[in-house]
């Protein structure tokens, strides 16, 4: 199984929204991918409440059957469609992919 985790810090404002508004929009957009991507076994999105200097604003946790499924997810049209919104809203991105 492949685990794909992404953490974003968001800009204070983007798309005419606050960072928190964008976090909620991103959460909705990503969660809407559930059941649409072959090989995606699990997806969840969380918004940080701790607001520390070391915190990210939003996290994606997802699981895939294989590395090929993760690669297919990256190229899937539904995933590609939400990327411009996220790219404009993010200030920083960290990611880890690992196999269990």
Q: What is the CATH number of the domain that holds 43?
A: 3.30.70.100
Buried b (16+ CB within 10 A) or exposed e, 13-37: ebeeeebeebbebbbebbeebeeeb
The whole-number pLDDT of residue 21 equals 98
* Non-local CB neighbours of 88 within 8 Å, separated by 6+ positions: 14, 15
Per-residue pLDDT of the chain (100 residues; tens, 9 = 90+): 999 999 999 999 999 999 999 999 999 999 999 999 999 999 999 999 999 999 999 999 999 999 999 999 999 999 999 999 999 999 999 999 999 9
Q: Give this prediction's pTM.
A: 0.94
Domain boundaries, position 37: 2-99
Give the span between the Cα atoms of 36 and 54, in whole angstroms: 33
Domain count, the chain: 1
Widest Cα–Cα separation across the chain: 40
Give the span between the Cα atoms of 39 and 67, in whole angstroms: 10
């Amino acid at each position: 199984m492949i685990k794909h985790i992404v953490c974003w810090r968001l800009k204070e404002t983007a798309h005419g929204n606050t960072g928190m508004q964008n976090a909620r929009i991103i959460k909705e957009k990503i969660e809407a991918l559930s059941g649409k991507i072959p090989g995606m076994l699990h997806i969840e999105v969380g918004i940080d409440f701790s607001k520390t200097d070391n915190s990210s604003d939003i996290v994606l946790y997802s699981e895939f059957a294989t590395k090929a499924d993760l690669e297919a997810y990256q190229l899937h049209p539904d995933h590609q469609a939400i990327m411009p919104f996220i790219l404009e809203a993010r200030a920083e991105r960290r990611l880890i992919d690992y196999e269990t």
